[in-house]
Structure 1
Amino acid sequence: MSVGGWAFAGYLAWLAAGFVDFTQHRRTDLPHTSGLRESVMHGVQLGLLGLVVLSWLLFAPGLGLRLLLGVLVLLHAVAGYIDTLSAFGRRTITPLEQHVHSVMDMAPWIALGVVVLVQGGAAREAGWPLQLDPALPRLWLAALLPALLLCVAPWLHEFGAVLRARGA
């Protein structure tokens, strides 16, 4: 399997971990326990990683892209910590959910490392400015459709359940 094939398999595993996480939130009644604050933090984390994926799809390899991706991954880690604080003491986090969190916490850093390794010298040659170089439509579909089905749709369901639980 090529590097791209392995990277895509890793991406799908990461998304699958996100899906499992949402099933655990449902099992532990997130809407009635940690509620709105935790669900909002899930949306923030999804948004940050969505920006990572969109940036990778939109921009040419370069040092500027690496910096942007690094900042977004770092912000995701900070948001993940705040997310954990939101749930701590309010909702039971099962061993399975803890394990899934370890995958979701490390996957963005691993993905960033893969981008750096794959870009190699091309990033140095391209320099700092972000340059538009959109990926092929099939890459957009392969990246966004699984994310929408496995993570965005479950988060929207969770967020809706939280709002219903609050009587909004």
Structure 2
Amino acid sequence: MHDPALSLLMYVAFPLWVAAGFADWTCHRRTDIARTSGWKESALHLLMFTEIGVGMLVVALCEITTAVLGIVALVFVVHELTVYADLRYTVPLRPVGPFEQMVHSFLELLPLASLALLAVSAWDQPPDWSLHAKRQPWPAAYLWGAAVTAALINGLPYAQEMVSCLRARSKGNRRG
């Protein structure tokens, strides 16, 4: 693969997203999400993780067409709406300090930067509103490594967060 935009997506944007996701989880843990905003906020985090995961899966497996750009743009908009719902719910219930706000900036802008990189990569393509499997698939080692990395560094901590929130709720340490 010799596309600089896709290389930036794979080897810069994705690792930054994983790191920012983990940093965000540490902020939640530090502010005791299980006893403050609880499982509802945690569910929104899992939803945002899933939203971005769907977009990344489409990008990793499909040729970059107008359809893929549209899907990624839709994922970005849906993710932003979920972020808004998350903040509206959370801010009255637990502190969201400056560091966490900066982490959120990365988590919000990396999908938009990824969309821009994809658009640059497909700039000279004629409009194509269909999905096609990649003619030159990304290396299997990269795909597996990215999936395992996201699962271990983001998925597992957010699952732990949800379990902690549900335990606190069942013990009466959190309302709702």
Q: TM-score, normalised by structure 1?
A: 0.91
How many residue pairs align between the two structures?
166
Cα distance, 1:4 vs. partner? Answer: 4.1
Equivalence for 1:131? 132
Question: Larger helix proportion, structure 1 or 2?
Answer: 1
What CA distance in whole angstroms lies between the structure 1 residues aligned with 2:60 and 2:5?
17
CA–CA distance in 2 between the matches of 1:29 and 1:110?
A: 31
CA positional deviation for 1:76 = 0.5
Q: Using the TM superposition, give the Cα deviation of residue 119 of structure 1 relative to its aligned residue in structure 2, in angstroms.
A: 2.1
Write the distance in 1 (CA, Å) between the matches of 2:112 and 2:5.
17
- Are the counterparts in 2 of residues 31 and 162 from structure 1 also a CA contact under 8 Å? yes
> Is the 8 Å Cα contact of residues 12 and 146 (structure 1) preserved in structure 2?
no
Q: CA deviation at 1:38?
A: 0.6
Q: Is the alpha carbon distance of 1:58 and 1:6 closer, same or farther for their aligned partners in structure 2, counting shifts above 3 Å?
A: closer
- Counterpart of 2:27 in structure 1: which amino acid? Q
Give the aligned residue type for 1:111.
S
Structure 2 partner of 1:55: 58
- The CA distance in 2 between the partners of 1:83 and 1:77, in whole Å, is 10
Kindly indicate whether the alpha-carbon contact (under 8 Å) linking 1:32 and 1:165 is maintained by their aligned counterparts in 2: yes
Identity %: 27
- Map Cα deviations across residues 7-53 of structure 1 (whole Å, 9 max, x no partner): 31222112101101100100000011101111010011011001011
Q: Which one of the candidate residues 29, 32, 48 is aligned to 1:29?
A: 32
- Flag structure 2 segments of 5+ consecutive residues without an equivalent: 172-176
Question: 1:6: which partner in 2?
Answer: 8
Q: CA deviation at 1:146?
A: 1.9
Cα shift readout 1:45-96 (whole Å, capped 9, x = no counterpart): 0110010111112211211111111111110010011011121110011111
**1:32-47 superposed matches below 5 A:** 32-47=35-50
Aligned-partner Cα distance in 2 for 1:58–1:6: 17
RMSD: 1.8
Normalised TM-score (structure 2):
0.87
What is the alpha-carbon distance in structure 2 between the residues aligned to residue 43 and residue 33 of structure 1?
17
Note closer, same or farther for the CA distance 1:69–1:3 as it changes in structure 2 (3 Å cut).
closer
Aligned ranges 1:153-164 → 2 under 5 Å = 153-164=156-167
Q: Which amino acid aligns with 1:18?
A: G
Where do residues 9-158 of structure 1 align in structure 2 (5 Å cutoff)?
9-122=12-125, 124=126, 127-133=128-134, 135-158=138-161
Does the Cα contact within 8 Å between 2:6 and 2:117 map onto a contact in 1? no
- Any stretches of 5+ residues in structure 1 without a counterpart? none
* d(CA) in 1 for partners of 2:112, 2:88: 21
